[in-house]
Structure 1
Amino acid sequence: MNILYVMRYWPVYGGGETITVTLANEFVKRGHSVYVVYTYDKSCNPMPYSISPAINSQKMHTIEKYCASDVEKLQSYVVDNGIDVIINQWGSTKLCRLAIRQTKCKLITCWHLDVLPKVRAPHDIKEKIVNAIFRKRVYARYVHWRQMRDHNLNYKLSDKYVFLSHSFLREYVSLTHLKPDKEKLGAIPNPLTYTYDYDFNDYGKKKKQVLFVGRIFEYHKRLSYILRIWKQIEIDGRYSDWKLVIVGDGPDMHQTKQFSTELGLEQISFEGFRDPRQYYLESALFMMTSAFEGFGMTLVEAQQYGTVPIAMDSYKSLHDILQDKVNGIVVPDNDIDCFVKELKQLMDDKEKRKQLAMKGSETCRRFSVDSIATQWESFFNTLIDGK
């Protein structure tokens, strides 16, 4: 089968690119031909993962504000390479649909976040005007209306519209004014990006270290919450042998470091963009305070390496990964005091940490790339062969 991924960035940017590479590599191993088209080059040195040389990539316009020549280029690429199915990860659904007219190619569009992500401050001129005139409540309704408009367009133009969790799928069905054909909807979680089984004979080598891995972007990841939580840990005085490690980079790195300085944090390290695997291996605990997520891959990566995640209950698919006090800890969204309490309890109890870590190592295996790729192949076969 010939599979085409439509991306915004390639080959490195965030979780979406990592997941795409993971699945693309697996599909190549299974005998499929995989192609990628993208708009923006984005790479780093060293690369955080390897990409099969059998994957063909081509830079072209894949996003909104396209023109007729962009449609023609994508259509020619689809026809010339005999593409059977497009997986639209971050491109324009309209552009993809126009490009496959008069072909047998099928279109799968993916949604990678909450159905209705939390409303942030207005950032373009239209949003600022609406917010200035109608204020916060009406502005929020406007943002949600626009989001549902985009969802409905994706649904109408795609042969399959795929969410990361059945909880998101059900939410979309409950919110849309359409009466969607449930055969056109689907849900597949992200796969584990690493092939690794943690050896719990080495658990004694874990450091007294709490880890964050992710993009340094306050609106999304709420690093300020993590720093405020850690301030309470340092104030306590009993945890002077523990350290907070921040792995990642992003547009808000400067202000995050500045806030750390203002808080007077001492037991903290900013590592920048790094391969996180060694940090997972060394760390006992992992923190997530995101305002929203689509899936939260760093949670299952932490579990895979025997690291216990503690996360705020800010998005529905969190519960696909974590069962509170079974394979991790879930605290109410925005409740910093509760987070501090749960964090201290685990820092004090090594046996409890190990118990949760062992269960997490077991439960995360259901997200293996083999399992997730098989689910994708089932979608392909249903769309193309009607099986």
Structure 2
Amino acid sequence: MKNILIFFRFFPSVGGTERVFTVLANSFITNGYDVHIVSIEKSLDVPMFYLDKQVKCSILPHKNVACQENIRTLHSYLIDNEIDYIINNDSIKEAVKLCSEAKENTNIKLVTIHHGDIVYKKEYIYLMAQQGSGLKRFLKNLFFPLYLKYQNHNRRENHKFNLLKSDKYILLSNSFKKYLPQNDKIMAINNPLSYMREEFSGAKENIVILVGRLSEPHKRVLLSLKIWSIVADKHPDWKYYIVGDGEDRGLIENFIQDNNIPNVVLTGKTESLQYYKWAKILIMTSAFEGWPLVINEAMQNNCVPIVMYSFDSLPDIIADQENGFISPNNDIEVFADKLDRLMGDEMMWADMSKKAYISTARFIPENIIKQWIDMLNTL
């Protein structure tokens, strides 16, 4: 039996990364591996997502990720449990340093996975520039082009360090490889589906959904509302559900009220699966993403996606005009036209809905775990 240790900074916790790797941890168990999860901190007392009882969870003693105490503790854990592979779920330099130094003088292989874009989008750096207060925040915004360049320089240096210290460096999409120098250590493995894949056979309702944290300018919910305001009066029997909660809910509520936008429902924090089953269309207007789980979650429930092309991995998920629509980034009018057409053409929607479901077979856990196992066997 091979032994795998999966490292998180935060576990148990809430988020897409945790959901993906609980699915993978369970799949490794099913395939005969012994699985351990080691973290620095926990945000929840118990995992939010189903985790096989055979998975062993531990927490390192110190919150300073790469401190010597953590390195010594992790090294002892690796030896005592005869670990063969470390899958490092956090590509920050401190996490890679911790894992690489803990396995020194062993035959343990280190696989680091990078979740997200390889280079920072300016919208993300803008969010970083708003953090803090006083002179530091003022200077970051005043010299924003230099701050953006500085952050991406650090990002590239971090990737170099990760490649040097890891035996494999996993990206979520082949489209991200172009930002890194050619290296045999680099490999792309897509995220698996989060839910069991069962074709939805019930009646769908005339509902459009957006699923995500209510956070501007990341998710750009206000942009989606501008799009909805263009099509809403043409389709009075349709509703727009914004599924999720977040720090900008008040801003969004005020925007809806001030602009008299009809047929919009804010669900608050809730389980999204039921909305995938009810809705016919998912829209996404995010400023940046890595590999957003919500698109495949919608498609596996026959919900057709329309997504702004703001992140490189999107064509890996959506075949434009086949199983969904890819819309030019920031173009509200084009997006609204695609949404209007899909809402008004039941035959088009039915065809794309079926193709959306079929296309998600690529991402079932059995297929994704095979790629992981094949990769580990090459090390």
Q: Please give the TM-score of this superposition, normalised by the length of structure 2.
A: 0.91
The correspondence of residues 1-387 of structure 1 with structure 2, limited to 5 A, is: 1-43=2-44, 49-60=49-60, 66-90=66-90, 92-119=95-122, 120-121=125-126, 122=129, 123=131, 128=137, 131=140, 135-173=143-181, 180=182, 182-200=183-201, 202=202, 205-234=203-232, 237-383=233-379
User: Shift in Å at residue 223 of structure 1?
Assistant: 1.6
Structure-2 change in CA distance of 1:42 and 1:30 (3 Å) = same
Q: How far did residue 124 of structure 1 move?
A: 5.1
Q: 1:287 to 1:17 in 2, by over 3 A?
A: same
Moved more, 310-319 or 33-42: 33-42
Deviation at 1:301, TM superposition (A): 1.1
Structure 1 residues 233 and 39, CA, compared in 2 at 3 Å: closer, same or farther? farther
Give, as a single letter, the amino acid of the residue that structure 2 aligns with 1:336: I
CA separation of 1:35/1:256 partners in 2, compared to 1, >3 Å: closer, same or farther? Answer: farther
Helix, strand or coil at the partner of 2:359 = helix
Q: What is the distance in 2 between the residues matched to 1:220 and 1:63?
A: 28
Alpha-carbon distance in 1 for matches of 2:291, 2:344: 29
What are structure 1's unaligned runs of at least 5 residues?
Answer: 174-179
Q: Which moved more, 1:362-371 or 1:247-256?
A: 247-256
1:35 and 1:56 in contact (8 A); partners too: yes
Shift of the 65–32 alpha-carbon distance from structure 1 to 2, 3 Å rule, reads closer
CA distance in 1, matches of 2:375, 2:82: 18
Q: CA RMSD in A?
A: 2.2
Per-residue CA distance 1:66-121 (angstroms, 9 max, x = gap): 32112112212212211111111126111111111122211111111111121232
- Runs of 4 or more, structure 1, over 4 Å off, are 61-65, 124-127
CA shift in 2, pair 1:208/1:320, >3 Å:
same
CA distance in 2, matches of 1:44, 1:38: 13
Check conservation: 1:113, 1:292, Cα contact below 8 A.
no
Cα distance between partner residues in 1 of 2:145 and 2:115:
25
Query: Identity over the aligned pairs, expressed in percent?
Result: 33
Is the 2:200–2:277 Cα contact (8 Å) retained in structure 1?
A: no
Deviation at 1:198, TM superposition (A): 1.1
Q: Secondary structure at the match of 1:35?
A: strand
Amino acid at match of 1:245: Y
Deviates more, 1:121-130 or 1:163-172: 121-130
Secondary structure of 2:180's match? helix
Could you tell me the TM-score, scaled by structure 1's length?
Answer: 0.89
C-alpha contact (below 8 Å) 1:287/1:309 kept by paired residues = yes
> Gapped runs of 5+ residues in structure 2?
none
The alignment covers a number of residue pairs equal to: 369
